[in-house]
Structure formats: C-alpha cells, structure tokens
Amino acid sequence: MTLALLHDQAFIDGAWVAADTGATFEVRNPATGDVLARVADLAASDVERVILAAERAQVDWRERPAKERAKLLRVWFDLIIAHTEDLARLITAEQGKPLYEARGEVAFGASFVDWFSEEAKRVYGDVIPSAGRDRRFVVLKQPIGVCAAITPWNFPLAMITRKAAAALAAGCTMVVKPSEETPLTALAMAELARRAGIPAGVLNIVPSKDAAGIGRLLCEHPIIRKLSFTGSTAVGKLLMRQCADTLKKLSLELGGNAPFIVFDDADLNLAVTGAIASKFRNSGQTCVCTNRIYVQDGIHDAFVAKLTEEVARLKVGDGAAPEVVQGPLINAKAVAKVAELIGDAVGHGARVETGGKAHALGGTWFEPTVLSGMQASMRLAQEEAFGPVAPVFRFKNEAEVVRLANDTRYGLMAYFYARDVNRIWHVLEELQFGMVGINEGLISTELAPFGGIKESGFGREGSKYGIEEYVELKYACFGGL
C-alpha cells in the first residue's frame, strides 16, 4: 500500500531537510511490523538552527493582522479535511488505531484548527477604568514568542493541532518534536501547512530518536519562551525541572487515572455504552480512558454481566481491516505492562470475566478484558493501564466512592452515571478532576477546555481558554493626560 503525504525528512524553515549526520530511524506499522519509512533523526545541533529560524519567522508572523493568520489557518483546515482519508490511513499505519477512529481523529484534530482560526480574531485586550484624571490603563495581549511542543503517539495529529493551531493563531511560531513512534502524521500535517501558505519557519517539525536530548535543548534554550507537552507524568516533571532555569511558561497534559462511577440509579445501558467508549477507545491508550470502574451494590452484577457480554464482542485485528474496533497496542512494552497489571490483580483475588491475556493474533494485540472483584490495594487502582482492561470495583455509598475516586495523585478526567439531580451536583463538586463526564463517556471537544489538575498537569487546550496559553499580558499606563 502506498501512503499519500508520506515525508521522511524534517520540516524546517519551510523546507524538507535531512539530519546533518544523515542519520535516520525506522517507523514501523504496529499491526504488521512493516517498516513504513526511515525518518530523519535530528540531533540537538540540528534543532538549534530550527529555533533560530522560528525566531526569525516570528517577527513577520506576529505583525500580521490576526485576520490574515486566521485565513491561513482556515486554508490549512480545509486541506486537512480534504485529505481526511490520506491522513487517516497514515495514522492507522503508524499508530494502529482502527480506520474509523483515525478518521475521527482527523476530524477532531482539524476542529482545533477551525476553532483557533476563528479565535485568532478575538484576542481582546482591556481598558481598565483609571485611578486618576490624568492617566489611562490599557492591557495588551501579545504572543509569547517562539514555542515548543513535545507530543505523544496516541493522537499523532490532534495532539499537534490543539497546540500548534492555538500558538499560530496567537502569533507565536512553533517547533514540534513529535513522538518517535508516530512522526509521519506530523510531517504530513507540515506538508499541508506548507500548501496552505503558512510561511516558512512558522511551523517546524523535528523528528528525532533522541527525545531526551532534544527535550533538554527545547527546555533550556532561552529563545523558546513556552513549552507545551502531552505525555507521561514522569517526563512532564523532568521537563518542568529543566525549564526552571529559563523560567519558561508551561502547559502540561500528563497522565490520568480516570474513575468511572456507576450509581444505583444510573441508566444501565447508557452506562455500559459509556464505559466501553471511554475505556476501549484506541484500545485503552488515551490519557482520558477510564482506568477504574466503580459500580454500586444494587446495579453491580447486572452491569458486570452486560459489560462482559459487550466487551467479548469487540472485534480485534489490523486497524486497516473493516469492522475492526480494537487495533494492536503501540509496542511490546505496552503489552507487558497490561499483562503485569492484570497478573497483579488476579494474584490478589480479582476475577477475569473475559479476556485477560495477549491475543491469539500475536504481535501486540491484547484481548479486551473485564476484571471484577477489584480492591483498592491492587496496582490497577493507582497505575494507568493504557490498555484494553476494564477493572470493576464494587462500592456501597456515595461518600465511599468519592473518597476512592479522589484517592490518586492524578486529576485529569472522571466519569459518573446517575439520575438524581442532587447527587449529580454534589458528586460533581466533590470530584478532584479537571474534566467530568456526567452520563457521557466521550467529552473531548475543541469547544471546551481540556486539561487536568494535581499531577495530571496544568494549562488548558481548546476553547476560549486555549489561546490564552500563548499570550502574555502587557499593562500600559498612559500618564500626563
């Protein structure tokens, strides 16, 4: 199969460029093991030049009227939509998710470009009522400057647009270091940005196997004024430490440990549908995937039975094949982690309702799994599985489940299903998470702020708040009037 929009060089200052050393690294299809491309493996010395190019480009970019930037972003959006099929095939090839999910990601990722093309025109400042007859107070919002993004493999397209579109809309330029697992989608997006007429140097993509070396440079470089990172909490903390010396602004979208609570008064069918949607999307490999399912006594057995029945039916296979809803996991390490966490739970008394082991297909496929009889002491209660395993815990009352749900250092996403309005409002206020889905298992949208609290990070992406991450406030006092 030939893949359209396939590029294997870095995109720097508007041009396709090899690494100085000529080094490359392999990108493989997790379903077939095939090598899709050998991509330029940039070193820190290559990236140094990119940062300077982004700085040069920013001068013109920030001076353009917002309306002009908006128009270019809109053309980029139109091109992304026009190439939905090419991009979706690329995402499935390098990341493994089923094609229908990949198409969904293109639409979702593109929606941020659409949204921020409009928000570009609405970065309003303020006039503050003055304290004296002879002076006036004004607040300007100005682009931060050159920004960097480090992105993960689970959404190779959307994790880039929700950062880059906001940055570009605000008048910043950006250097993106995509995941070494999925650089091809990022490079395809750069090609479409080039065709859209986004000027050279405004958006740069620097693939590299040396995530730590490039990461350090991006954190420590004084020209870069802001870093936006999506990935694991451990790496997020490291980056924050590395950014301390230049006091960089940061947005960190880190790990989660999402509880999914089903109260006795919930709609059973809705809850099961939501649990599957939130748990098994991308084979469980998203930071907002349900990690712990808490079900109240009265509805517990019926819920487990229905969930098990439906999970057992999920079709596993190559994401490029029709009707497949569960693709392979990203790599062997991911499979080992899921197997280990299930082993821990079962070893401590959990019961496998369905699945529970690596799939007969081999490779990195894993059986969609439901566990019951889960206890708070098991590792799955605290660790993000990032795989297709749904562990069910039984609970008795509201106070108990709120305590259990909050008993985590993460605070990204929580879901709960209930109908009693008093309970809904009360539980919503008590949950310590940046986002809460109530009777809904999929809530990400460009229209609303995405982000976490506690060790899930800080900063928001999408919505009217997303662009604020890329502007600085400047207070001006006009005196002597």
Kindly tell me which of 233 and 278 has the beta carbon lying closer to ligand ADP: 233
Strand partners, 37: 27
Of positions 47, 54, 147, 150, contacts ligand ADP by CB under 6 A: 150
Please identify every residue annotated as catalytic. 253
Instruction: Classify 12 as helix, strand or coil.
Output: strand
The answer to whether 148 touches 227, Cβ cutoff 8 Å, is yes
What is the residue-wise DSSP string for 106-145?
HHHHHHHHHHHHHHGGG---EEEPPSSTT-EEEEEEEE--
CB of 194 to ligand ADP, least distance (A): 22
Q: Which stretch binds ligand ADP (CB under 6 A): 136-144, 177-185, 199-207, 352-360?
A: 177-185
CB of 432 to ligand ADP, least distance (A): 23
- Among all chains, which residue has been given the structure tokens 């004084």? 222
The residue type at 433: F
Could you say which residues in the range 194-253 bind ligand ADP, by CB under 6 A? Answer: 211-212, 215, 231-232, 235, 238-239
CB of 216 to ligand ADP, least distance (A): 7
The answer to whether 353 touches 304, Cβ cutoff 8 Å, is yes
CB of 211 to ligand ADP, least distance (A): 3
Of positions 98, 109, 152, 441, contacts ligand ADP by CB under 6 A: 152
Query: Which residues make Cβ contacts (< 8 Å) with residue 237, sequence separation at least 6?
Result: none
321 binds ligand ADP (CB under 6 A): no
Spatial separation of the C-alpha atoms in residues 398 and 199, rounded to whole Å = 55
Q: Which stretch binds ligand ADP (CB under 6 A): 31-39, 147-155, 418-426, 457-465?
A: 147-155
Of positions 151, 185, 326, 354, contacts ligand ADP by CB under 6 A: 151
58 binds ligand ADP (CB under 6 A): no
Strand partners, 140: 474
Q: How many residues bind ligand ADP (CB under 6 A)?
A: 14
Kindly tell me which of 239 and 258 has the beta carbon lying closer to ligand ADP: 239
State the DSSP H helix or E strand holding residue 217, giving kind and residue range, or none if neither.
Answer: helix 211-220
Shortest-Cβ-distance residue relative to ligand ADP: 215
CA angle at 126 for the pair 121 and 127, rounded to the nearest 5°: 135
CB of 177 to ligand ADP, least distance (A): 6
**Closest Cα to residue 245, out of 220, 280, 273, 216?**
220
**Closest Cα to residue 358, out of 350, 369, 368, 366?**
366
CB of 230 to ligand ADP, least distance (A): 7
- Would you state the structure tokens that stand for residue 298, as one six-digit string? 């009265």
273 binds ligand ADP (CB under 6 A): no
Kindly tell me which of 206 and 405 has the beta carbon lying closer to ligand ADP: 206
- Would you state the structure tokens that stand for residue 47, as one six-digit string? 């990236």
* Chain residues that interact with ligand ADP, rule: CB under 6 A: 150-152, 177, 179-180, 211-212, 215, 231-232, 235, 238-239
